[in-house]
């Protein structure tokens, strides 16, 4: 059986105050063409389909259009789960009505996991759609005491194991941070005061785990796979090779993963050097298309520069921002500020606690803090 696996579309995302909707529509056109050409048995979209709980209307219209073309025009079913950026309830609108058409949306967490059964020459494959949920939400759904992301996910996976028929191949579509995965800057931490990470062993027994959350395409233990994000959504992703993944699941449960690169409308890249040199190099650039890239400039000039952004935009019309490396390196203050910005709320609180209490948070305090902050985050996401 063959799946086209993708995740982390983040439709409606703003990057340096620019809407990426045109870039997203462009690359999703290619994705739809790929679906049409390859005709997989199903498309798996592993969460963070939107960038926020209330996406802009054009993001809603784009998802609507892409799903209709995949399902109605290409005739390929879709399994779509909510990630930590999506609103579980909003994403699930119409789910019951769209199911028989081939769109299987899992937004909200329930005690009985949602599943889809597909068949090939080797028999049945059962796909379990496991939307992202805070531990408190899983606790309410399952009626069990679950303090951490790992405990919550393990309880949900146990519930699946309890109903999964023996001898049937199994696929889990999930949105989680598996220990050992490589992170980027644009993934919103799942947890505070901790990473929210889960061990790969939590997924023992499943043939294929199609994951979302981490933006770099990567495979853990041969059968836990992150398709990665649709586009480069942070500077830390400049070196990523973005792709969607064709996954062949053999009759014996073996997994073979083939990256299928898509070509973005504009690349995201960092250029570094003196302003005059960068401008001269850009003007001499043979490939005009590369001048439309999203360019982040690290300027090494040491003297004063008059409106470098305006000058840069004359050669790179989509330049995002400039950074003066001489200023950024000016002393430890800059580094300290950057380190602070990179910390999660939980880490900041932990270091604050260390300062004032002269002690580390113990496990109970850490769990309590995580619950409070997760509750606040959930309330904030749902209050729009």
Nearer to its own copies, 11 or 319 (CB): 11
Residues that bind its own copies (CB under 8 A): 54, 56-58, 60-61, 63-64, 67-68, 71-72, 87-90, 92-98, 100-101, 103, 382, 384
Q: Which residues pair with 3 in a beta bridge?
A: 42, 247
For residue 153, give the nearest of 175, 182, 125 by alpha carbon: 175
Give the distance from CA 195 to its chain's centroid.
15
Which is it for strands 103-106 and 78-81: parallel, antiparallel or unpaired?
parallel
| Closest residue by Cα to residue 276 from 295, 256, 300 | 300
Q: Identify the CA nearest to 179 among candidates 145, 162, 203, 207.
A: 203
Smallest separation (angstroms) from its own copies to the CB of 53: 8
Nearer to its own copies, 68 or 368 (CB): 68
* In contact, 84 and 47? CB cutoff 8 Å: yes
**Of 254 and 380, CB closest to its own copies:** 380
CB of 291 vs its own copies, minimal distance in Å: 31
Return the bridge partners of 81, or none.
106
Cβ-based nearer residue to its own copies, 29 or 92: 92
Minimum CB–partner distance for residue 86 and its own copies (Å): 11
Minimal distance, residue 45 CB to its own copies, in Å? 15
Q: Which is nearer to its own copies, 97 or 306 (CB)?
A: 97
Q: How far apart are CB 96 and its own copies at their closest, in Å? A: 4
Backbone angles phi, psi at 142, to 5 degrees: -100, -10
Closer residue to its own copies, CB minimum distance, 2 or 381: 381
Instruction: Provide the minimum distance between the beta carbon of 227 and its own copies in the complex, in angstroms, as a whole number.
Output: 23
Q: How far is the CB of 159 from its own copies (least distance, A)?
A: 22
Report, in Å, the least distance between residue 176 CB and its own copies: 23
User: Quick one: which of 12, 81, 24 has its CA closest to 262?
Assistant: 24
**Measured from the CB atom, is 100 or 239 closer to its own copies?**
100
- Residue whose CB is less far from its own copies, 98 or 147: 98
What is the Cα–Cα distance from 332 to 367, expressed in whole angstroms? Answer: 33
């Amino acid at each position: 059986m063959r799946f086209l696996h993708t995740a982390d579309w983040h439709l409606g995302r703003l990057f340096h105050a620019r809407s990426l909707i045109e870039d997203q529509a462009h690359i999703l056109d290619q994705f739809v063409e790929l679906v049409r050409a390859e005709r997989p048995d199903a498309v798996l979209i592993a969460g963070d389909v939107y960038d926020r709980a209330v996406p802009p209307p054009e993001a809603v219209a784009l998802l609507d259009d892409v799903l209709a073309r995949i399902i109605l025009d290409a005739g390929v079913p879709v399994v779509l789960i909510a990630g930590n950026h999506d609103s579980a309830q909003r994403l699930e609108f119409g789910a019951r009505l769209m199911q028989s058409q081939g769109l299987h949306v899992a937004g909200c967490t329930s005690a009985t996991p949602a599943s889809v059964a597909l068949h090939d020459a080797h028999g049945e494959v059962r796909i379990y759609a496991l939307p992202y949920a805070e531990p408190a939400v899983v606790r309410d759904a399952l009626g069990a005491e679950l303090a951490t992301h790992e405990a919550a996910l393990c309880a949900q996976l146990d519930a699946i194991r309890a109903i999964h028929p023996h001898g049937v191949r199994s696929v889990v579509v999930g949105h989680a941070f598996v220990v050992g995965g490589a992170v980027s800057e644009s993934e919103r931490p799942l947890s505070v005061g901790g990473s929210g990470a889960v061990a790969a062993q939590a997924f023992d027994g499943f043939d294929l785990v199609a994951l979302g959350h981490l933006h770099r395409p990567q495979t853990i233990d041969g059968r836990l796979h992150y398709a990665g994000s649709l586009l480069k959504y942070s500077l830390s992703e400049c070196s990523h090779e973005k792709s969607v993944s064709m996954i062949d699941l053999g009759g014996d449960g073996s997994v073979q993963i083939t990256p299928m690169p898509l070509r973005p409308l504009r690349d995201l890249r960092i250029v570094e050097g003196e302003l005059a040199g960068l401008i001269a190099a850009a003007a001499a650039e043979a490939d005009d298309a590369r001048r439309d890239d999203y360019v982040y400039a690290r300027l090494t000039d040491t003297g004063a520069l008059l409106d470098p952004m305006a000058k840069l935009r004359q050669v790179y019309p989509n330049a995002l921002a400039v950074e003066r490396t001489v200023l950024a390196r000016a002393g430890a203050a800059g580094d300290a500020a950057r380190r602070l910005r990179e910390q999660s709320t939980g880490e900041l609180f932990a270091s604050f606690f260390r300062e004032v209490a002269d002690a580390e948070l113990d496990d109970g305090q850490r769990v309590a803090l995580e619950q409070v902050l997760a509750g606040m985050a959930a309330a904030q996401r749902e209050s729009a």
